[in-house]
Structure 1
Amino acid sequence: MTARGRGFDCDVLVVGGGIVGLSTAYALSRSAPGTEVTVLEKERGPARHQTGRNSGVIHSGIYYRPGSLKARYAVRGAAETVAFCKEHGVPHEVTGKLIVATDRPELPRLHSLVQRGRENGIPVRELGASQIPEYEPEVTGLAAIHVGTTGVCDFRAMAARLALASGADVRYGQEVDAVDRRPWGVAVRTTGGAVVRARALVNCAGLHCDRVARLAGDDPGMRIVPFRGEYYDLLRPGLVRGLVYPVPDPAFPFLGVHLTRGVEGGVHVGPNAVPALAREGYQRWTARPRDIAETLRWPGSWRIARRHWRHGAGELHRSLSKRAFTRSVARLLPAVTEDDLRPAAAGVRAQAVLRDGTLADDFVLREGPRTVHVLNAPSPAATAALPIGREVARRALAALDAAPD
């Protein structure tokens, strides 16, 4: 008997039409054919937020702690993303990338990345200063590593293909504003007044995932604190052949200002990471009182501010000063000038912050009765979307098996 025949509109209702939500729908259709899936997305199309507003990088997994979900899913996901793109005609390219140390204190951290990459099964090549120009003639540094499995992808196009390939009932312009969980299942109401009844709910709401969890009656144990990532376009794209990254600060879950040649041939520079005044605060002065209040009320927000204020001050300075931003780029690419950089569209990272001020450094998946919540899935979630989707689908199907008919 179908879900409709049992009084439901679908078996699994997915909230969120970004790449993780659509990968979950795709995984459900492949692992359990016949499962009826509905996806509710508040925007007028897929992948309008984190998925469609990033550097477009297929991450290798070199940065992430061995054994973590990020490490396992990024390594696996990079290969699967390339295979999916080839099969479905999604623009992509495996370019490789350089991670470059520009001063001596960075050299031990660069060596640690080499070790981490090898533990994660990623092929890396160590380079001396004289070897860097083999890959990037305009880039300078003391040492570097080349990671061959990194690439770029049009993730918005990939999300659209996932929506089609999933066979799910994807409904755009449907924002969830109420969730009623009962012994028999879950009923969700949208702001337009529509009600969808499902046997299980999957929360892939990204920037709003903690709110959807609370609507469902589950305590997420975290809050989304938004960080805006600001980008520039490089007006002399010939200065860069592929992808060039600095050595990241291990105390902060951001990778630093980097250069990324995209699938269209242009070069993106960025992002920095500054606190946003709205969860969808893509413009510097966009502010939402509710978002600000939720951030300020969360104890973890104050603790992270005290812990990382020096780093944050530097990011804010680069946000307000194009000259400072240019200087940070010039450490890698000395030929760059302020005139070479033109402001581009910004993104917002949905960063989960725990009550103690810890920045969640791994993907966070949690379950409640008949619910599965994806509570931290910033970068490299687009790369890892197919493995994440399979794991979320597995948990959703387990919830179906446990629920009474």
Structure 2
Amino acid sequence: MSRMGGAGINPIKAGASPHFREGRVKSLPSFLSVDLRRIKPFSEVTRYGYAVGRIRVLEMQMLNNQRTERLIDADFEGALNILDELDMGDYLAGAKLARDVDVDLTAFLCRVYSTLAEALPRGSIIMDFFLCRYDFHNLKALLKARIEGQDAPQGLLEGLGTIGLEALRRGVENPAELPSPFKEAMEDAAELTSPQELDTLMEKHFLTYRLFLARREGSPFVVDFARASIDLANLKLVIRARLLSKEREFLEAMIVKGGFVPAVNLLDLYADPPEIMAKKLEANIYYSKLLEIAESEDRVVRLSDFDRRSDDQLMDMVRGMKRVSVGVEPIFAYLRARENEVLVVRTILISKLHNIPPAAIEKALRKLYIE
């Protein structure tokens, strides 16, 4: 039986350049190659199927650029009316003061976490990736109160995190009662007397633990996000240490390992004069991109809006996850987008209460996940 003429044609070669069809190129072009190590088994990916289905519905209620523009132009009451179009509007209906806004948005965020947690498969640790931030925040608030001699810690976030406030209070008195890595963070903070150094130390433990969780979850996208977060935090640390004339030993103790930029490279840069340090950063594509985040329009390195630019950089990474339709990545993107959405709404509403003009509000806002 004769074979059909096209049966033996390689469909990739058939659509490739003449050089490739004629065999002059021995392998696929790099843009067609697929790293099989970044592809999970189908059964492992689809275990998040139910949760992904839930968030596809919930995404319809998320903030977009059009609504954001309306919020910026409205007054406080008008902004609340616009938010009534979204699911968070029910939580903000009675808000009058800045404290009301904070309490209501915290309650909404708690609902976001709890709703999604119910839909996640057993064994998933993606919620820990997000919630551990609040554990470190609350632990830092308790320690800072002790350092400053305050009876009532400021800024505690009740209802968020994986460890209750009472358990954290006991852990401050007896670190052995805390699970890792919070116990180790407490031990490292035992001798600190500076609130600023405490902030930096807790950030180090938080980012290190989050990278550990990302690797346990096994998603390359989540790992990349955690590593990029470390790079941004390290760059901010280097610039701040330079501005405050900190010794190299401080940087060695506080720098976070695990990012794309090796910690030793940043330590070597720190020994250079500022102008040489900047030139070396600009010489590398990845470094220069990070440096752009820290520079203002007049090319002076400032930290005033570094956090906003860093968040925008990370949001660009999260937006890239839109092309992933199944697995943990859509869950990750949704949670990160919701956290960012809450921050944007809070910025707008608090600004309205303080009569900040729309142009200034717009400049302070982060990028949204849904454009």
**TM-score using structure 2 length:** 0.29
By percentage of residues, which structure has more helix?
A: 2
Larger Rg computed on CA atoms: 2
By percentage of residues, which structure has more strand?
A: 1
**TM-score using structure 1 length:** 0.27
